Structure 1
Amino acid sequence: MYDSDQESTSLLPRKGAIGVPKDRLKIVYAIFYLLGIGTLLPWNFFINGKHYFMYKLRNITLPKNFTEYIKPEYETDFQVSFESYLAVAAMLPNVLFMFLNTVATRLIRLKIRIIIAVCTMILIFASTIVFALLNTDMWQVEFFAITLVCIVIMNAASAVLQGGVFGLASMFPPRYSQSVMAGQGFGGTMAAIANIISIAATKDALQSGLFYFSIALIVLILAFLAYLILPCLKFARYHTDKKSLRTSTFNGIDETNDNDTKSNVAFTKTTGAPLWRVYRMPKFGSNWLPFLSVSRIIFIPLFIFCNFQPRQHLNVYFDNDIAPAVIMVLFAFTNGYLSTLCMMYGPMNAQEEDEETAGALMSFFLALGLTAGSFFSFLLSKYLI
């Protein structure tokens, strides 16, 4: 749409033209942050809800008030295998529907995809709350199967939502993709905190599950309402209206001084106060980003040499608790930082009309990498360690 060597004169500022809308009070930024939390709610809350599911799948032949049903000698097959089934039921539909969402960017409107995905997730969370109120002891097999089906549907919807949100964020300045990533990171912490509070504030696992999944439902509803508010904001309409982006002219300069943005859309892709700049290093287009990303493979041997048990072949070189903690902090920081840069920079390589597809495609490859890593971890722990 634009000549890569010459800036379109139609986008040059003109005297007396209307200025660029501002993201006042950073409301749009906060909405994308909340949507980022919502995209990974199914995985975060189901994987952290072990206390509830272990009770639902416990050995019902034990005394009613028996509290040690999670000890290895008392565990049922359902309890032992639940997390493995959860990982498969979550990862496979996530990757598949990430891909389908990328294909659907030109076939189904973004708004429709996001609304259907969020409504589906709300219904599944609501049904999960209903199951928390029911006594499922006499039909554990059916409960186990229904739970897995819910996880499959939930993560399929989550994949569509995640791809849609990243596609939407790619129409905005890069910091809004960073906002989604930051929200996803906080979502895991929020789920863990919610689980701790629910266990501490209730008297049994059923009440804990009810309280816990109610929090997830409330957060998801808030995210949905926030998304519905988005079209009412001038700043959001400005960046999502492609016709307006191509034809509007305005006065002003690149307020964020983002030298690494595409020069041919510098005026349309950057706004906001200096306080909200996102520090980016390596810069856009630098070869250091792929190099640093690939170099993170060094964490694999570092983790292997920690005191991971059981092990059959390799020796332990880090037999204290400090080393794995430090390695994990560095691993988590580099993962979040570099993946955020990738999600921010990816859509900047695309033409404006392809930005949504680029954002969805980046989200798909992010999920594909996580899935491949999950399966590789099983092979690594079984055959190498």
Structure 2
Amino acid sequence: MGIAHLLPYNAFLTAYDYFNTNLSKVSKSFEFYISSIMTWGTFIALGFDLFLSSYFGNKKRKMNQIEQNKEQKLKFTTRIVGGFIVYILTTGSVPIIMTFCELKVAFVLMMVNVVFVGFSTGICQGGIFGFAAIFEPKYTTAVMSGQGFAGVIVSFLRVITKGATEQTTRGIRDSAFAYFAASAGIVFFIIVGYFFLIRTKFTKYYISKYYYHLENADSTKEEEPMSINESGSEYSGESETDRQTTVIKDHLEKDDDTTSLLDGTPKRIKLWPLYKKIFRFSFSVFFTFFISLALFPSVMVQIPSTRNHLNTTGWYSLILITLFNCLDTTGRTLPKWIPNLFSNKFLVGFVLSRSVFLVLFVLCVEKVISSDAISIIIVIIFSITNGYPSSISMMRGPFAKGIKEHERSTAAVMMVHYFITSGISCWFGREFYFYSTFRSFVRQKLKIKNTIKAEEGKEKKIQNSSKI
């Protein structure tokens, strides 16, 4: 589910060379528009999703059960699968739009595509993290790993399709067709996998437990999570009441259709007290993505190689994007084996220290750091430190101290909404204030340095000519 969630986003960004061949004739800042429009669409959708899961749910508490059943509700399945279907339609239509439409029309239609992808990403993302929060923390880590792995998949798909065709206009078009078709196909198979997932006994147990807490949120006390083996065949807990166990067993026996259990009515959840409980983790996720989205991909693709042919063919930017996606996935997966590397207090400080990459990337782009090896090492550290703290924060946030079980899904949606806000903070990408100011400062210093060298060279020539 994590893979399918970010696959279309990464598919659009990784096909930089394909869009550059076509859309750059209409606008030189096409990748800036794609990134910013998609981020705005996601932000608006997440706000809408959060509103539905809290305020709208509070009003429905006063209705009787018959009236509640008549209300249209956004189920997890509707949100997740609906988003995936939009992904298939938008991603699969890219080659068709670029082949049969004029460039200006194609540019407009691509922006419309991006709006749909962004909005469905927000709805889908809230559903996925809310659904994952029903389970144990390691399953949220699995979703985070899947998001990183989505970038790895599309990067290798692009490398394979680009390398298998000639670097001509037709060759690039054919490779992009195979690339986007494969991306849409992967999402389709993940939809099939989701329906298998929600019908397993393991999933039904956790959904039944979630349903129980929704229905009894006002009467139940905060309890310790129940222990359960990986197969989901047995469950027990010393603090679990007989009533809860009986209700969950009844749901497991009576409800063959798992999606009906996901249609519970949200109980009253006060957002501000909940927000204070997850603030530290929300800020960590926010600032991690704030730095990362300010530099990736718009700044990273501008880092030049010392080998000019890698720059002209677009291979070096593709190599850096692929490297980022691979190491980001590694960082997102590490909490599965090393969950306690950072304490909660140290986590915030570590995230703030990533601000140094704003300086390092500028030095790479302006060729102050002119070594490919050093640039690659910087990208490696940048990638791992993006994946690990973000995954740790998303894993700990919904399970923070004081959060009740029925509040975890809303807490996860709130955290997702908060870190997407980081995209709004730096949605202007290359025009990010600190980056543009520091880059202008470096350029000015380099210009003065080059001017001094040029004047010294002229003086030496004059001296040599006078000696002759």
- Normalised TM-score (structure 1): 0.72
Establish whether residue 118 from structure 1 lines up as the match of residue 84 from structure 2.
yes
Q: Is the CA contact (8 Å cut-off) linking 2:141 and 2:336 kept in structure 1? A: no
Establish whether residue 369 from structure 1 lines up as the match of residue 422 from structure 2.
yes
Structure 2 partner of 1:334: 385
Distance, in Å, in 2 between the alignment partners of 1:348 and 1:94 is 24
Establish whether residue 135 from structure 1 lines up as the match of residue 67 from structure 2.
no
Structure 2 partner of 1:23: none
Q: Is the CA contact (8 Å cut-off) linking 1:129 and 1:209 kept in structure 2? A: yes
- Normalised TM-score (structure 2): 0.60
Q: Which runs of structure 2 are paired with 1:1-385 in the superposition (5 Å)?
A: 35-57=1-23, 76-78=25-27, 80-105=28-53, 106=57, 108-132=74-98, 134-136=99-101, 139-203=102-166, 204-242=171-209, 264-268=223-227, 271-272=229-230, 278-282=337-341, 286-304=344-362, 306-309=363-366, 316=368, 318-349=369-400, 350-375=403-428, 378=431, 379-385=433-439
Letter in 2 for 1:157: S
Distance verdict in 2 for CA 1:246–1:93, change over 3 Å: closer
Letter in 2 for 1:98: L
Q: Is the CA contact (8 Å cut-off) linking 2:32 and 2:429 kept in structure 1? A: no
> Aligned-residue CA RMSD in angstroms?
2.6
Displacement of 1:243 in angstroms is 5.9
Q: Is the CA contact (8 Å cut-off) linking 2:11 and 2:154 kept in structure 1? A: yes
Distance, in Å, in 2 between the alignment partners of 1:195 and 1:181 is 22
Distance, in Å, in 1 between the alignment partners of 2:420 and 2:146 is 16
Letter in 1 for 2:339: R
Distance, in Å, in 2 between the alignment partners of 1:50 and 1:331 is 21
Distance, in Å, in 1 between the alignment partners of 2:29 and 2:350 is 36
Distance, in Å, in 2 between the alignment partners of 1:56 and 1:295 is 39
Distance, in Å, in 1 between the alignment partners of 2:74 and 2:387 is 30
Q: Is the CA contact (8 Å cut-off) linking 2:83 and 2:124 kept in structure 1? A: yes
Q: Is the CA contact (8 Å cut-off) linking 1:122 and 1:221 kept in structure 2? A: yes
Q: Is the CA contact (8 Å cut-off) linking 1:167 and 1:359 kept in structure 2? A: yes
Q: Is the CA contact (8 Å cut-off) linking 1:347 and 1:355 kept in structure 2? A: yes
Distance verdict in 2 for CA 1:178–1:55, change over 3 Å: same
Distance, in Å, in 1 between the alignment partners of 2:345 and 2:414 is 21
Task: State, as a whole percentage, how many aligned pairs show the same letter.
Answer: 24
Where 1:232 maps in the other structure, the secondary structure is: coil
Distance, in Å, in 1 between the alignment partners of 2:201 and 2:374 is 50
Distance, in Å, in 1 between the alignment partners of 2:143 and 2:45 is 19
Letter in 2 for 1:335: N
Q: Is the CA contact (8 Å cut-off) linking 1:48 and 1:192 kept in structure 2? A: yes
Displacement of 1:288 in angstroms is 1.8
Long gaps (5+) in structure 1: 1-34, 58-74, 248-262, 311-315
Distance, in Å, in 1 between the alignment partners of 2:26 and 2:92 is 27
Distance verdict in 2 for CA 1:38–1:352, change over 3 Å: same
Structure 1 partner of 2:315: none
Distance, in Å, in 2 between the alignment partners of 1:206 and 1:376 is 27
Distance, in Å, in 1 between the alignment partners of 2:373 and 2:336 is 34
Distance verdict in 2 for CA 1:154–1:296, change over 3 Å: same
Displacement of 1:283 in angstroms is 6.2
Q: Which of the two has greater helix per residue? A: 2
Distance, in Å, in 2 between the alignment partners of 1:234 and 1:227 is 14
Displacement of 1:95 in angstroms is 1.5
Letter in 2 for 1:309: E
Indicate the structure (1 or 2) with the bigger Cα radius of gyration. 2
Displacement of 1:272 in angstroms is 4.0
Distance, in Å, in 2 between the alignment partners of 1:114 and 1:144 is 28
Structure 1 partner of 2:464: none
Displacement of 1:122 in angstroms is 1.8
